[in-house]
C-alpha cells in the first residue's frame, strides 16, 4: 500500500497542521467531470438542432395540410353548387316531379329552431332552376 501511495501522490502540502495530498485520482475525477460536462453540452446542442428541424418539418406539413384543406373546400363548393347538381340531374335524365307529388313544409314563426333551419336553407339554396323535360316512356 505504501508503494501505491508513494507513486500515486503528485503533490503534498501542509496547511494548518494537516497534510494535503494531491493524487492522480484527483486529476482523474476532475477530467471525468470535465468530459461529462462537455458531453452534456454537446448532447443539449444536438437536441436543439433536432428540435429545430422537427419544427420546420411540422410547419411545412401544416402548410401542406392547409393547402389541401382549401383545395378540398373548393371541390366541396363545386360539387354542392346548384349548377353542378342541375347538370348531373340532366345527365341522369331526372325529371321534376308533378306538383301533386311534391311535399311542402310550412314552418310556424314562433319556433326559433325552424327559423334557424329556414335561414340555413335559404343561405344554401337559390330558387329552383327551370323544369327539366320529363323522359318519354318506353325509352
* Distance separating alpha carbons of residues 56 and 63, to the nearest angstrom: 11
Q: What is the 3-state secondary structure (H, E, C) of the chain?
A: CHHHHHHHEEEEEEECCEEEEEEHHHHHHHHHHHHHHHHHHHHHHHHHHHHHHHHHHHHHHHHHHHHHHHHHHHHHHHHHCHHHHHHHHHHCCCCCCCHHHCCCCCCCCCCHHHHHHHHHHHHHCCCCCCCCCCCCCCC
Q: Of 4-8, 65-69, 108-112, which gets the smallest average pLDDT?
A: 4-8
For the chain, the domains span 2-122
pLDDT of residue 97: 79
Cell numbers describing residue 76 = 366541396
Q: What global pTM score does this model have?
A: 0.45
pLDDT above 80 for 47? yes
At 79-98, the pLDDT tens digits run 888 888 888 888 998 888 78
What residues does 21 pair with on adjacent strands?
Answer: 12
* Confidence (pLDDT) at 139: 46
Amino acid at each position: 500500500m505504501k508503494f501505491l501511495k508513494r507513486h500515486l501522490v503528485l503533490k503534498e502540502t501542509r496547511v494548518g497542521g494537516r497534510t494535503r495530498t494531491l493524487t492522480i485520482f484527483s486529476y482523474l475525477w476532475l477530467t471525468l467531470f470535465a468530459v461529462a460536462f462537455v458531453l452534456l453540452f454537446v448532447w443539449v446542442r444536438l437536441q436543439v438542432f433536432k428540435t429545430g428541424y422537427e419544427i420546420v418539418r411540422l410547419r411545412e406539413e401544416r402548410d401542406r395540410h392547409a393547402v389541401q384543406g382549401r383545395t378540398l373546400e373548393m371541390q366541396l363548393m363545386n360539387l354542392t353548387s346548384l349548377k353542378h347538381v342541375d347538370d348531373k340531374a340532366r345527365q341522369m335524365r331526372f325529371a321534376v316531379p308533378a306538383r301533386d307529388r311534391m311535399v311542402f313544409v310550412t314552418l310556424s314563426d314562433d319556433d326559433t329552431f325552424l327559423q334557424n333551419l329556414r335561414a340555413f336553407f335559404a343561405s344554401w339554396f337559390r330558387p329552383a332552376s327551370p323544369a327539366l323535360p320529363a323522359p318519354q316512356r318506353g325509352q
